Amino acid sequence: MTIKIRSGLRLRHVFGICAMGTALLIAGCDTDKLLEVVDSENVTPVTLDNPDLMDVVYAGAIGEFTTAYAGSGGDAYLSSVAVFTDETFSTGTFATRTATDRRNQFTPDDGNLSDGAYINLHQARHALRDGAERVEGWEGASHPYFQELKALEGYIILTLAEGYCGPLPFSQLESDGSFTYGVPISINESLDMAIGKFDAAGNTNLSAMGKGRALLSKGEYSAAGAAVAGVPTSYVYHVPHSVNGDRNALYSLQGNGRYSVSDVEGGTGLPFRSAMDPRVPWYRDPAQPNGFDEDFELYKSKRHYAFDAPLPMATGVEARLIQAEAALAAGDGAGMVTYLNDLRADWLNLMLGMFPGADLDTDAVLDPLVDPGNAADRRDLLFYEKAFWLYGTGHRLGDMRRLVRDYGVNQADLYPSGAYHKGGDHGSDIVFPLDFDEEGNNPNYQHSQCNVKAGT
């Protein structure tokens, strides 16, 4: 039996380990032998069932995750989140980007910007699960590769639960080559599935961060805070990028004029430019003042500063923000503000840890905050701080969705909702629809189960 590359590890990741000279040193890596294939479109399971190729399996799975979550030069989950929310706006001409930016997405059969991410996330889920199983068989569940791959498998499920319309089906490609179509499960059940993966990954900072984020999405605030309490504030898990392979997608898409940093988008978005907050540094390039669509000015983020700029997906900063939300839920305004002020006092070192090559204003100071004294204002302060700390890292949609679902915020007062810069008004979608092929291939799923305006 053979498996199509589209359903497993991509050859570009397998070959890239040797050909691109990455930091991973693969014992016995022989490019001539790797290239000795009968059919360049197929890889048999036996090919990778070799402990000597563990680094190849690991790198292939990591590459799949990078492509799905953070991008490899083109759109991915992260860029879809940024343009759908109030982080970026479309300065290009692609209809699917405009529809997503406007929050008036096409019907599934017409296709949407988030479709590619949906397919790639599931492909990465299979690659991570397969890779973790192989490493566990070779080295056991305590091996760092197993722990990382299993945690990232949890992050894939968490990402789907945060960004896409429920209920969610999770189909499985079995080891014998058979395919089991997933029966749709609720968002909470999906989050429980993710938590199971994080638990299986062992006691690591990455698994703790994933579990805390999933518990937060379930509204289990105290448990979320406890899950991340041991994660150091300086901790950062970077999704890797490279100049020749998985290029930083937001840098690439800014560079070709497709996306621009937003500011009070639709009259309701946050002031990501006008606040002049040093955590969201931006600039207007004199050599490229306007976007691909020259009718619109182009503002570039300094967070995404190069093709090989890493993407901080899980951080100790987020851990403290989760604890701050747990304090908010407990009515402890002073405790919440203490967490926020501790981060603000060390903003430069923390930002350099997350974005090591970013051009930051080293003279800037973030003044201490004061407890607003009531639950609604504390909530708004916390999520404002979180949005600026985690700008452009794939968190914003999950948080906005929670604000509507769990905190009762009117979506029209939160998502970009007023006049749209390309004409007309914003729509009222609050989540991504599932790709059309899910219904076309999975007999257990129908798109009528999804309401993108409710997001349940």
Domain ranges of the chain: 220-240+314-394
Predicted pLDDT of residue 17: 31
Lowest mean pLDDT among 4-13, 26-35, 230-239: 4-13
Dihedral angle of Cα 21, 22, 23, 27, to the nearest 10 degrees: -60
Residue 210 pLDDT grade (very low, low, confident, very high; cuts 50, 70, 90): very high
Distances (CA, A) of 195 to 128, 223, 254: 16, 12, 34
Task: Tell me the mean pLDDT in the region 353-370.
Answer: 97
Contact between 382 and 321 under an 8 Å Cβ cutoff? The reply is: yes
The DSSP string of 313-335 is EEEHHHHHHHHHHHHHHTT-HHH
Report the chain's terminal Cα–Cα distance, integer Å. Answer: 39
Predicted pLDDT of residue 47: 62
Predicted pLDDT of residue 46: 55
Residue 114 pLDDT grade (very low, low, confident, very high; cuts 50, 70, 90): very high
**Prediction pTM value:** 0.89
pLDDT in tens, 250-284: 899 999 999 999 999 999 999 999 999 999 999 99
Task: Tell me the mean pLDDT in the region 150-174.
Answer: 96
Burial of 118 (0-12, 13-18, 19+ CB in 10 A): buried
By three-state DSSP, how is residue 4 classified? Answer: strand
**Six-digit token string for 39:** 């059919």
Predicted pLDDT of residue 408: 96
Distances (CA, A) of 233 to 72, 317, 332, 333, 340: 28, 5, 21, 20, 12
Task: Tell me the mean pLDDT in the region 5-28.
Answer: 32
Q: Residue 59: in which H helix or E strand, if any?
A: helix 54-69
Contact between 282 and 302 under an 8 Å Cβ cutoff? The reply is: yes
Amino acid at residue number 75: D
pLDDT in tens, 277-325: 999 999 999 999 999 989 999 999 999 999 999 999 999 999 999 999 9
Measured CA to CA, the distance from residue 161 to residue 155 in angstroms comes to 10
Predicted pLDDT of residue 177: 78
**Six-digit token string for 156:** 């894939």
pLDDT of residue 443 exceeding 90, the answer is yes
Predicted pLDDT of residue 280: 98
pLDDT of residue 16 exceeding 50, the answer is no
pLDDT in tens, 391-422: 999 999 999 999 999 999 999 999 999 999 99
Measured CA to CA, the distance from residue 436 to residue 105 in angstroms comes to 13
pLDDT in tens, 59-108: 999 999 999 999 988 999 999 999 999 999 999 999 999 999 999 999 99
pLDDT of residue 5 exceeding 80, the answer is no
Predicted pLDDT of residue 23: 29
Measured CA to CA, the distance from residue 25 to residue 341 in angstroms comes to 42
**Six-digit token string for 260:** 């621009």
pLDDT in tens, 28-66: 344 444 344 444 445 555 567 889 899 999 999 999 999
Q: What is the mean pLDDT of the chain?
A: 90
